[in-house]
Chains A and B, each alone.
Chain A
Amino acid sequence: MSVHALHKMKASEDSAPRLDVVPNLVRDLGGITHLLTCGSVDDGKSTLIGRLLWDASDLYEDQRETVRRSGRKAAGTDLPDFSMLLDGLVAEREQGITIDIAWKYFDTSTRRFVIIDSPGHEQYTRNMASGASHADVAIVLVDARSGVKKQTKRHTAILDLVGVKHVVLAVNKMDLVNWSEDVFRKIEADFRTLCWKFNFWDATAIPLSAVFGDNVTNPSTNMAWYTGPTLIQHLEKTPSRVSEAGSVFRFPVQTVLRDGQDFRGLAGTVTSGSIKVGDVVVDTLSNANGKVVRIATMSGDLDSASAGQAVALQLDVDIDVSRGAVLSVPDARPTAAQTIEARFVWLSEKAFSLTDGYLLRTSTDLIPISAIEIKALLDLETMASRPARACTANDIAIIKISLGRAAAIDVFSEIPETGTLLIVDSVTGATVAGGVATSVDSRAEAAPEGHFVLKRDMLANGLNRDLSMSSKDREEFMRRANEVAILLRAAGVAVAIEPPPPVDDGMDPGL
């Protein structure tokens, strides 16, 4: 009997899919680890990634055969050139995309790994920051012969800035220093000192040789003095960001789902903490609150939902909450921020301009910026800041922003998932900077001379007179108000939008 006939017979006994038919292949993997690799080609980055793919992944046989048959050898050895496995990515580098990140996927027996590769050339700050923002863990590669360099300092500073919590220092080319423990311990100590000033939860140094494969997947026989994990063992144990999300509940509302008269669901993904049926949630902007009566998904209602789950929440009252709101529990809310200070990586080729109109993008909200000011630029090598008024591509700028209306924002170091921000060019729509909130304030700056307030009455009587008080029309009201504010700002008028009247929810205002 052929193997397939056997499958067929088994399957016919039971209508449910037989996952045991193809063990190790069909079952879900235990999670996803997003892995950023930083370092230059000289440090052996391509060879290390190639070696990881070769030793630890589910490569197709034809891909292996291509490498074997090419006859290309790793420099100075008789071993196959594993960096070939990344050739596709290298060639694609020439497409001219402004910010370059290449994604590559492989599975070990327990985890999905996503390799996020950003180029190592001198324009790397914005590339790396962009890639690192998706990473759960970063491999910082150094050459054992040169150790921790200025570039290593810049790399770790960028990782910390965008919230990477797990860093691995891969001390490569140990074969070229005679597998010396002394050399490794010195580099490891330098790295520890470097990491001291950052907020990493875990910083581990591993001595290895990407070319020979020592301590990549297989324990090295050349470094008996090293008793720690191999690189892949370490990576498989590293938790992902979503599994390490904090305990404070946050739920940015993406859209409102309606199904007939009965269902009005607030759709979104729990970004941190968890929520269960019966909990009271509040929108900090309107102060409206309600009790969760249903957590809906197409696979069935849930009793609770936690970080990473995409659901729709139905509340016991029909409160006017829409996209842009961030639901929380009443005693641990995000700030209804009017002014913020944040660290931004400037991504655009186009430098910051005082006359450009900008918008601030939060988890799900887009808010007109009424005033924006560069305070300082950050030196990534020393972490010192120096006062500045301008910034351009690859700069790390400390920027103060006044918002045209309040937005729900957290301080990034406290609740990272709802503390990330983008600055958007209001005319082209381009993303010009990405950053993290370092302080948020619910008080507006004292209105400067000539500050223009867009009154709700003024908007309601003319521009918005076709709109009703339905929640859908109220969303449209706010969208038009935003666009008017953007036009005025582009014309050089400092502008703020009058906030909607607060909802009287009967709760203690002290909450």
Chain B
Amino acid sequence: MTASPSHLDLLEAESIHIFREAAAQFRKPVMLYSIGKDSTVLLHLARKAFFPAPLPFPLLHIDTTWKFREMIAFRDRTARELGLDLIVYTNHDGINRGINPIDHAPSIHTDVLKTQALKQALDKYGFDAGFGGARRDEEASRAKERVFSFRAAGHRWDPRKQRPEMWNLLNGRLGTGETVRVFPMSNWTEKDVWRYILREKLEVVPLYFAAERPTIVRDGQILMQDDDRLQPRAGEKVEMRKIRFRTLGDYPLTAAVESEADTIEAVVAETLNAQTSERQGRLIDHDQAGAMEKKKQEGYF
């Protein structure tokens, strides 16, 4: 080879290695697909890992019924164009109980319609491995996560059961009742995701690009009125703003930023030049963790 591989070449090769190791060792894997930019990169890496064969596993989207409409349209078009086997699962029991992100605390909504739904789906189909797009650089608590993250029966994460990983050897032999989450992008950073999207010319959900959209400002955050389930409260009004999203999730829980970045280049420039860490919640987490650590040191507990 003439040029030595760049860091993105190396990261890509490592991810492909992980995909192939998991697909070869687990009986029934599935890819957890959340439609966002990380999932877009994860899906692209998976296709590379098995090219020219089709993906040897289905995609699973946990649909809370509160995703942006553009996300669902993007999901369905992606599945159709790439000929993917897409499973969409919703916790209808939770929906029937009336759980929603507007009237309930985000933690309850997330637990019932996302966490519980995921467990139900994994159990229903008997998947023993789930690929996810999580990265170690996302937050401090993930910095020690393994590439193969083992779950005991009942999807419990037991720190003492996590396996040491040495060299590039990935041991996927499961104990009784164990399942595993596989993170092929463990060593990617936020910036790498955008660099790679640009390099590989990947299409992402248009919500990442700035456009005039109907918004409501609530608790200091800009929300998009994606459908009529979100209504202005007293003192609030619906206004058009030029906004975009840095992360995508359930629309009543996803804050927008005002931005002029309406091309992929501009979004990447804005992200890479950002003076604050991607998830603004992250800074708060740090402060709280630091405060807690201090209290412990001071003998608070």
Q: Do A and B bind each other?
A: yes
Q: Which residues of chain B come closer than 8 Å to A129, judged between CB atoms?
A: 166
Q: In the bound complex, how far is the Cα of B173 from the Cα of A8, in angstroms?
A: 50
Q: In the bound complex, how far is the Cα of B70 from the Cα of A358, in angstroms?
A: 51
What distance in Å separates the Cβ of A375 from its nearest Cβ neighbour in chain B? 21
Chain A 389-432 near chain B by CB (<8 Å), digits 1 or 0: 00000000000000000000000000000001110101111110
- B1 contacts A30, C-beta separation under 8 Å: no
What distance in Å separates the Cβ of A37 from its nearest Cβ neighbour in chain B? 14
Chain B 66-101 near chain A by CB (<8 Å), digits 1 or 0: 000000000000000000000000000000000000
Q: In the bound complex, how far is the Cα of B166 from the Cα of A202, in angstroms?
A: 23
Q: In the bound complex, how far is the Cα of B17 from the Cα of A323, in angstroms?
A: 13
- A98 contacts B16, C-beta separation under 8 Å: no
- A112 contacts B7, C-beta separation under 8 Å: yes
Q: Is B234 an interface residue (CB 8 A)?
A: no
How many chain A residues have a CB neighbour from B under 8 Å? 95
Which among B103-111, B194-202, B223-231 touches the partner chain? B194-202
Once A and B bind, how many residue pairs between them come within 8 Å at the CB atom?
A: 247
Q: In the bound complex, how far is the Cα of B139 from the Cα of A243, in angstroms?
A: 30
Q: Which residues of chain B come closer than 8 Å to A89, judged between CB atoms?
A: 140, 143
Name A309's contact: one of B13, B21, B49 (CB within 8 Å). B13
Which among B57-65, B117-125, B248-256, B258-266 touches the partner chain? B258-266
Q: Which residues of chain A come closer than 8 Å to B287, judged between CB atoms?
A: 66
Q: Is B299 an interface residue (CB 8 A)?
A: no
- B289 contacts A91, C-beta separation under 8 Å: yes
**What residue in chain A is nearest B286 (Cβ atoms)?**
A88
- B51 contacts A296, C-beta separation under 8 Å: yes
**What residue in chain A is nearest B270 (Cβ atoms)?**
A4
Name A254's contact: one of B20, B48, B137, B270 (CB within 8 Å). B20
What distance in Å separates the Cβ of B229 from its nearest Cβ neighbour in chain A? 32
Q: Known contacts A30-B4, A420-B169, A431-B163; is A97 also within 8 Å of B289 by CB?
A: no
- B141 contacts A92, C-beta separation under 8 Å: yes
Q: Which residues of chain B come closer than 8 Å to A204, judged between CB atoms?
A: none
Name B276's contact: one of A61, A347, A421, A434 (CB within 8 Å). A61
Chain A 234-246 near chain B by CB (<8 Å), digits 1 or 0: 0000000011000
Q: Known contacts A7-B265, A268-B20; is A366 also within 8 Å of B273 by CB?
A: no
Q: Known contacts A105-B187, A274-B1, A296-B51; is A28 also within 8 Å of B144 by CB?
A: no
Q: Which residues of chain A come closer than 8 Å to B24, judged between CB atoms?
A: 254-255, 323, 364
- A310 contacts B7, C-beta separation under 8 Å: no
Q: Is A354 an interface residue (CB 8 A)?
A: no
Q: Known contacts A88-B140, A269-B17; is A430 also within 8 Å of B163 by CB?
A: yes
What distance in Å separates the Cβ of B118 from its nearest Cβ neighbour in chain A? 22
Name B143's contact: one of A27, A103, A298 (CB within 8 Å). A103
Q: Which residues of chain A come closer than 8 Å to B274, judged between CB atoms?
A: 60
- B266 contacts A26, C-beta separation under 8 Å: no
Q: In the bound complex, how far is the Cα of B52 from the Cα of A263, in angstroms?
A: 8
Q: In the bound complex, how far is the Cα of B144 from the Cα of A430, in angstroms?
A: 18
- A99 contacts B263, C-beta separation under 8 Å: no
- A269 contacts B16, C-beta separation under 8 Å: yes
- A63 contacts B266, C-beta separation under 8 Å: no
Q: Is B5 an interface residue (CB 8 A)?
A: yes
Q: In the bound complex, how far is the Cα of B186 from the Cα of A10, in angstroms?
A: 34
What distance in Å separates the Cβ of A310 from its nearest Cβ neighbour in chain B? 4
Q: Is A480 an interface residue (CB 8 A)?
A: no
Q: In the bound complex, how far is the Cα of B85 from the Cα of A237, in angstroms?
A: 46
Q: Is B281 an interface residue (CB 8 A)?
A: no
**What residue in chain A is nearest B10 (Cβ atoms)?**
A32
* Interface positions of B from 1 to 28, Cβ below 8 Å from A: 1, 4-13, 16-17, 20-21, 23-24
What distance in Å separates the Cβ of B47 from its nearest Cβ neighbour in chain A? 6
Q: Known contacts A28-B195, A87-B290; is A258 also within 8 Å of B17 by CB?
A: no
- A269 contacts B198, C-beta separation under 8 Å: no
Which among A17-25, A285-293, A449-457 touches the partner chain? A17-25
Q: Known contacts A63-B277, A104-B143, A257-B52; is A134 also within 8 Å of B265 by CB?
A: no
Q: Is B165 an interface residue (CB 8 A)?
A: yes
Q: Which residues of chain B come closer than 8 Å to A91, judged between CB atoms?
A: 140, 289-290, 292-293
Give the 6 A-B residue pairs with the shortest CB-CB distance, closest first.
A88-B140, A28-B6, A429-B173, A298-B51, A310-B16, A434-B166
Other CB < 8 Å A-B pairs besides A361-B171, A426-B173, 17 of them? A4-B261, A7-B265, A17-B264, A22-B272, A32-B10, A60-B274, A87-B290, A91-B140, A97-B144, A107-B191, A130-B164, A134-B167, A254-B20, A257-B50, A257-B53, A269-B17, A312-B52
29 contacts between A and B (CB under 8 A): A4-B260, A7-B265, A11-B266, A17-B198, A17-B199, A22-B265, A26-B268, A26-B269, A28-B8, A29-B7, A31-B7, A31-B10, A61-B275, A62-B283, A87-B140, A87-B286, A95-B159, A96-B159, A98-B160, A98-B162, A99-B164, A102-B144, A130-B165, A269-B168, A310-B13, A310-B49, A420-B169, A431-B166, A434-B166
Binding site for B on A (CB under 8 A): 2, 4-5, 7-8, 10-11, 17-19, 21-22, 25-32, 60-63, 66, 87-92, 95-105, 107, 111-112, 114, 126, 129-130, 133-134, 162, 242-243, 254-255, 257-259, 263, 265, 267-269, 271, 274, 296-299, 304-306, 308-310, 312, 323, 347, 359, 361, 363-364, 366, 420-422, 424, 426-431, 434
